[in-house]
Amino acid sequence: SQTIHQWPATLVQPVGSPLSLECTVEGTSNPNLYWYRQAAGRGLQLLFYSVGIGQISSEVPQNLSASRPQDRQFILSSKKLLLSDSGFYLCAWSVNALTEAFFGQGTRLTVV
Amino acid sequence: KNEVEQSPQNLTAQEGEFITINCSYSVGISALHWLQQHPGGGIVSLFMLSSGKKKHGRLIATINIQEKHSSLHITASHPRDSAVYICAVRSNSNYQLIWGAGTKLIIKP
């Protein structure tokens, strides 16, 4: 069966520090991969999606970047965190753009 | 105006009550999702539907494509149903998910 792993679960980072969140999927090949952010009291916002290795689409211009070095690995990064980067980050995968999405457990990031 | 609107934003009910959460959308869609977000933040997909009605245990989801409206019902609600319930639609133009803001449900024993 397919599983998705996302870590860490919680993270407290100072302003200006770098960020790296990792997401891996098991049990499937060539999935669509997604990074979402949920700011406090708001809905989920799509940040990046990828349909294949090295293929990244950015939905919202900001301080973050994403990479897909391997088929089932999706990384969310920042060189210098801002206070406004605080939030709940979710990784998800789907077979394709039309099918159900499955979510990781999320990372709660607090930038201080 | 948001493309996906949920109501109510917050709902508190007693154990055993019948719960209804509504979702209206204004875009063309290929599918609609109902998801549950637990207090720790993890999200679980409950339903994906494009027409009619689906049932899973005490949960029922319906969709009316003509009216661009969906409802999520919980029968015989229980405190463990307390969570945020999120509606999301998949756009039929770019196939991306558009998310509602969620409905926070609290079931009191």
- Position B109: which residue type? P
The beta-carbon neighbor of B97 closest among A46, A88, A105 is A46
User: What is the band of B9 on the pLDDT scale with cuts at 50, 70, 90?
Assistant: very high
pLDDT tens digits, A44-99:
888 999 999 999 988 876 889 999 999 999 999 999 999 999 999 999 998 877 77
User: What is the band of B38 on the pLDDT scale with cuts at 50, 70, 90?
Assistant: confident
Q: Residues in chain A, how many? A: 112
pLDDT tens digits, A10-22:
999 999 999 999 9
Nearest CA of chain B to the CA of A59: how many Å? 10
**Cβ-based neighbours of B19, under 8 Å, separated by 6 or more:** B11, B13, B73, B74, B77, B81, B105, B107
Nearest CA of chain A to the CA of B39: how many Å? 11
User: What is the band of A2 on the pLDDT scale with cuts at 50, 70, 90?
Assistant: confident
In order, the DSSP letters of B14-68 are: ETT--EEEEEEE-S-EEEEEEEEE-TTS-EEEEEEESSEEEEETTEEEEEETTTT
Instruction: Flag if A106 and B43 touch (Cβ within 8 Å).
Output: yes
CA–CA gap between residue B107 and residue A39 (Å, rounded): 24
**Cβ-based neighbours of A65, under 8 Å, separated by 6 or more:** A48, A56, A58, A76, A77, A78
The beta-carbon neighbor of A43 closest among B48, B96, B100 is B100
- What is the share, in percent, of chain B residues with pLDDT greater than 70? 99
Name the DSSP class of A8. -
Report the DSSP pairing between strands B52-56 and B59-64: antiparallel
A5 interfaces chain B, CB cutoff of 8 Å: no
Torsions phi, psi of B80, nearest 5?
Answer: -70, -10
Region A21-30: mean pLDDT is: 94
**Given this model, what pLDDT does residue B1 score?**
65
- Taking CB atoms and an 8 Å cutoff, what residues of chain B touch A41? 101
**Given this model, what pLDDT does residue A62 score?**
80
Determine which of B37, B43, B99 to mutate to test the interface with A (most A C-beta atoms within 10 Å): B43
